[in-house]
Amino acid sequence: MKGFKAYLLITLTIFLLSLSTYTVRDNNRIKIVHQEVKIDNLPRELDGFTILQVTDLHEKEFGKKQSRLIEKINSLSYDVIVFTGDMLKDSKSTNYKPFFTLLEGIENKENAFFVPGNTDPDVYKLNTENPFKKTDFYYGMEQRGVKLLESLSTVEKGTSKVHFVDFELSIQDAEKSLEFLKLVDNIRYLNHQKQLFKEISTLDNRDDSNVLIGLTHYPVVDARFDYLMSGQNYIVGDYDLIMAGHYHGGQIRIPFLGALFIPEGWYPRDGLFPPQDRVKGLWEYRDIKQYVSTGLGNSDAIPFLDFRLFNTPEVNLITLSDK
């Protein structure tokens, strides 16, 4: 019996050491995930249009001065690069260096957009000392060539257009939102919000052949879509694609089972044992396609689980194609 216990202990020790070694190495790899998204009536000029998605860095570094991540990104050809939030560990962090170093190394930022996540700081300082000013994180990001997407930005290819919108703003009823924002005692901020709604309202008359892509940090689950479309408080556009992050692919994934948990309040048990076809990758609901990246970094919401398991960090190259 003692011999069996010793054998079991040695086997378990070897297994745990092997698993730990694999996990450390896997957490520091980067894979490129290619995804084709078929769009009905896509203009010929946009067939093959590419979008590189980078999300959920959470201050992680891949090599000295992000050398390995920068090399991966610069090896790719793309029309647009989007950052879908959570570049920091938490919203009070001032450790901008991992993200800023990455931006400084990326060569193609001709069309580069960012939407904030829950661990990124507030966009504006709204106080008596700084009545209307972007916070240092966003100012530094834009100085490095990435635009904060607050409403609408359009990329043209020939005579065709791809519209990128901040999803959360795009679903708001402008009149109701502005009425609420009047409670904020800051006329410059209110005027700015009016301008954002004015910009996005130009989509009301958009050509149906142009592509509409909503960027958001948070995936839009089926139940939330049902809610958004059930009343008069929100306006859900005719999106060709929504792109999001946030879930980390479940962060801890078990072979043959998948993700054990995702942070999603719209699901029963707040995301414990989620539907596996709604954790990462491409899916479609109510004729709206959605793509969710597992991202690059880790969440330390549970400190002792601040790592990814069987879940290699990734960047995502999305290619639009005609059916």
In this predicted model, what pLDDT tens digit does every residue of 93-146 receive, in sequence order?
999 999 999 999 999 999 999 999 999 999 998 765 666 889 999 999 999 999
DSSP H helices in the chain: 2-27, 67-74, 97-105, 136-143, 167-170, 174-181, 187-201, 222-228
Rg of the chain taking only CA atoms, in angstroms: 21
Name the pLDDT band for 175 (thresholds 50, 70, 90): confident
DSSP 113: E
The residue ranking higher by pLDDT, 203 or 125, is 203
Q: How do beta strands 31-39 and 50-54 pair?
A: unpaired
Q: How far is CA 105 from the centre of its chain?
A: 20
Task: Tell me what the pLDDT averaged over the chain comes to.
Answer: 93
Given a contact cutoff of 8 angstroms between Cβ atoms, the answer to whether 35 and 291 are in contact is yes
Lowest-pLDDT range of 122-126, 155-159, 313-317: 122-126
Give, for 314, the enclosing helix (H) or strand (E).
Answer: strand 314-322
pLDDT value at residue 135: 92
Q: How far is CA 142 from the centre of its chain?
A: 18
Instruction: Give the domains, in start order, of the chain with CATH numbers.
Output: 32-322 (3.60.21.10)
pLDDT value at residue 113: 98
- Provide DSSP, 11-78: HHHHHHHHHHHHHHHHHT--EEEEEEEEETT--GGGTT-EEEEE---TT---SGGGHHHHHHHHTS--
CA–CA gap between residue 49 and residue 61 (Å, rounded): 29
Percent of the chain with pLDDT over 90: 77
Q: How do beta strands 281-285 and 160-166 pair?
A: unpaired
Give, for 165, the enclosing helix (H) or strand (E).
Answer: strand 160-166
Query: What are the structure tokens assigned to 182, written together?
Result: 């009047």
Percent of the chain with pLDDT over 70: 97
pTM of whole model > 0.75? yes
Taking CA atoms, 201 is separated from 176, 186, 198, 204, in Å, by 14, 23, 5, 6
pLDDT (mean) for 19-38: 94
pLDDT (mean) for 26-33: 96
pLDDT (mean) for 34-59: 96
Q: Considering only CA atoms, which of 295, 316, 291 is closest in space to residue 33?
A: 316
pLDDT value at residue 177: 84
Name the pLDDT band for 1 (thresholds 50, 70, 90): low
**Is it the case that residue 185 has pLDDT exceeding 90?**
no
Name the pLDDT band for 174 (thresholds 50, 70, 90): confident
Given a contact cutoff of 8 angstroms between Cβ atoms, the answer to whether 235 and 171 are in contact is yes
CA–CA gap between residue 260 and residue 130 (Å, rounded): 44
Name the pLDDT band for 275 (thresholds 50, 70, 90): very high
Q: Considering only CA atoms, which of 237, 242, 239, 90 is closest in space to residue 172?
A: 237
Check the CA dihedral 116-68-143-214 and report its sign: negative
pLDDT value at residue 225: 96
Given a contact cutoff of 8 angstroms between Cβ atoms, the answer to whether 26 and 314 are in contact is no
